[in-house]
């Protein structure tokens, strides 16, 4: 499943350089793949590739199956004759190292619509056949998604349960009429998904040709205002009017003394079990088509999840409720025998979570930033790792290594200095070396740590709704020695070959 003794980089495609307001699947993504190979890396880990939701979070999107249309490379449409290259020269410049989401979306969406219209009017016959075949192949989720997006535009600012009752409750006659009325809008969203899929799969193939495998990310929960909940209301804890009765979150923990009230709908696991977990099987099949390995976010929720009454404004007054446990994974493995999954087992981890993870032989995660708050027995210290582990300096939810060091307590700094053998200068490299030398099969470094960036450049601050998900890097920040040091470090620790690093082959 995971290549023994390997290493990779955590970077979401939106954080890539690029000319049109955010990173995408264009030339800079291919350049990044080449850089990964030069740096001796075997994995590129992303965040969820689906549409973003509230606060532009990729963990709160409008579909668990769709891709983010904003990742589509617009420049390719110029070559097809679907866009005028002159219009792309007016791209926003203000978001070169940070995404200005309103400006970015306002620029990209009209260009996607122009390209879709041009394709419909003058796309060649072969492309039209390819599009039609894609729509047939993905119809099980694509039709609901496209209609959901069309209705979302028709009823702006309204959650789906506020739409006219026949549409909210999916009456057959109402759906048939909506599909007729919004046929063009549905075609646009299907076009976007087709282009997302063909561009991403080409990039994924290029990565594989360069020895790079993709680690995707599957959020355990979906957004309430999503095609998934609207189309499968029976699978979620909703009342007769489609309103949430309970919502997801986590109890007080390292990140928040009041916990986190995420607000996602919770699954009605009895309904999933009754249908043989068909929705989850389809979701994982889709995820594994887009990635070689997937990290399942909040894995502990399959053992037990934190259930918060919908009327509560914080996560404090919740309770633990059992999840589906092994039954879900056994059902998935009947259809997907090779289930390359990383269990995100962070937070409040109890023996039942560990038993589920270990019983399935799934690798768990270890975060080095958390390791210095106690003593030498802490399970996140590298000398306590076991091989079936994926280790990180930090994740997208953590500060950067430099930012962590700057905010660490005196005790944490003293412990880290002694453990890592450093005075704190270039703390990120000391942390990366400790992980690289560990027995963990896979170690992953956020790109911010490779570049030595401080806490102002982190990706996300849990519990904070504004200002997240916007970080980008520029190639001028990447020096030749970054790739060389990563490759040499991997070589001496058996994570990449010695060739090309000045060491005997």
Catalytic residues: 297, 344, 397
User: Where do the H-state alpha helices sit in 392-456?
Assistant: 401-407, 410-420, 427-436, 447-450
Residue 275: which residues within 8 A CB-CB, separation 6 or more?
Answer: 235
Both structure tokens of 80 = 């097809």
Q: Which helix (H) or strand (E) holds 86?
A: helix 85-88
Q: How far is CA 500 from the centre of its chain?
A: 32
* Number of CB atoms found within 10 A of residue 273's CB: 13
Residue 203: exposed, middle, or buried by beta-carbon count in 10 A (0-12, 13-18, 19+)? buried
Question: Count of alpha carbons within 13 Å of 499, Cβ hemisphere only?
Answer: 3
CA dihedral 348, 354, 356, 357 (to 10 degrees): 100
DSSP string, 345-370: --SS--HHHHHHHHHTT--EEEEGGG
DSSP-based three-state secondary structure for 444: strand
* Contact call for residues 325 and 356 (beta carbons, < 8 A): yes
CB-neighbour burial class of residue 270 (10 A; exposed 0-12, middle 13-18, buried 19+) = exposed
What is the SS3 assignment for 476?
helix
Residue keyed to tokens 């594994």: 288
Backbone angles phi, psi at 235, to 5 degrees: -90, 0
Cα-based distances in Å from 24 to 76, 205, 286, 338: 11, 16, 20, 29
Distance between CA 264 and CA 328 in Å, rounded?
20
Q: Whole-angstrom Cα distance, residue 502 to residue 500?
A: 6
CB neighbour class for 248 (10 Å; exposed up to 12, middle 13-18, buried from 19):
buried
Please report the sign of the dihedral spanned by the C-alpha atoms of residue 448, residue 449, residue 453, residue 458.
Answer: positive
């Amino acid at each position: 499943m995971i290549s023994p003794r390997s290493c990779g980089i955590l970077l979401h495609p939106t954080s890539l350089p690029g000319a049109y307001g955010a990173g995408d699947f264009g030339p800079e993504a291919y350049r990044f793949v080449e850089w990964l190979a030069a740096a001796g890396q075997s994995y590129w880990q992303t965040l969820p590739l689906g549409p973003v939701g509230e606060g532009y979070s990729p963990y709160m999107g409008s579909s668990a199956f769709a891709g983010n249309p904003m990742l589509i490379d617009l420049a390719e449409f110029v070559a097809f004759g679907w866009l005028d290259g002159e219009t792309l020269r007016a791209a926003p410049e203000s978001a070169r190292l940070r995404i200005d989401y309103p400006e970015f979306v306002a620029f990209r969406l009209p260009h996607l619509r122009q390209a879709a219209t041009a394709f419909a009017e003058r796309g060649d016959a072969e492309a039209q056949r390819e599009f039609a075949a894609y729509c047939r192949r993905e119809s099980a989720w694509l039709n609901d998604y496209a209609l959901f997006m069309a209705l979302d535009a028709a009823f702006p600012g309204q959650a789906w349960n506020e739409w006219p009752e026949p549409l909210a409750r999916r009456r057959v006659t109402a759906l048939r009429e909506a599909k007729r009325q919004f046929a063009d809008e549905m075609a646009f969203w299907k076009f976007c998904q087709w282009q997302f899929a063909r561009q991403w799969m080409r990039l994924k193939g290029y990565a594989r040709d360069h020895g790079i495998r993709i680690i995707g990310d599957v959020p355990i929960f979906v957004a309430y205002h999503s095609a998934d909940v609207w189309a499968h209301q029976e699978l979620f804890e909703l009342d007769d009017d489609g309103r949430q009765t309970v919502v997801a979150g986590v109890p007080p923990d390292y990140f928040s003394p009041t916990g986190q009230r995420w607000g996602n709908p919770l699954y009605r696991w009895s309904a999933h079990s009754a249908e043989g977990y068909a929705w989850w099987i389809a979701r994982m099949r889709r995820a594994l088509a887009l990635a070689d390995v997937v990290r399942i976010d909040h894995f502990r929720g399959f053992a037990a999840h934190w259930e918060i009454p919908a009327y509560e404004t914080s996560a404090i007054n919740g309770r633990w409720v059992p999840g589906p446990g092994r039954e879900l994974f056994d059902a998935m493995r009947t259809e997907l025998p090779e289930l390359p999954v990383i269990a995100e087992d962070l937070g409040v981890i109890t023996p039942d979570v560990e038993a589920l993870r270990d019983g399935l032989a799934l690798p768990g995660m270890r975060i080095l930033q958390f390791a210095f708050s106690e003593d030498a027995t802490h399970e996140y210290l590298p000398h306590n790792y076991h091989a079936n582990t994926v280790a990180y300096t930090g994740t997208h939810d953590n500060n950067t290594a430099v930012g962590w060091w700057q905010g660490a307590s005196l005790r944490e700094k003293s412990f880290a200095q002694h453990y890592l053998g450093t005075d704190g200068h270039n703390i990120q490299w000391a942390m990366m070396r400790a992980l690289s030398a560990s027995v963990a099969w896979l170690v992953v470094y956020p790109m911010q740590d490779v570049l030595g960036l401080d806490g102002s450049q982190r990706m996300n601050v849990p519990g904070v709704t504004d200002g997240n998900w916007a970080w980008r890097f520029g190639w001028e920040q990447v020096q030749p020695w970054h790739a060389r040091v990563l490759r040499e470090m991997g070589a001496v620790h058996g994570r990449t070959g010695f060739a090309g690093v000045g060491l005997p082959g």
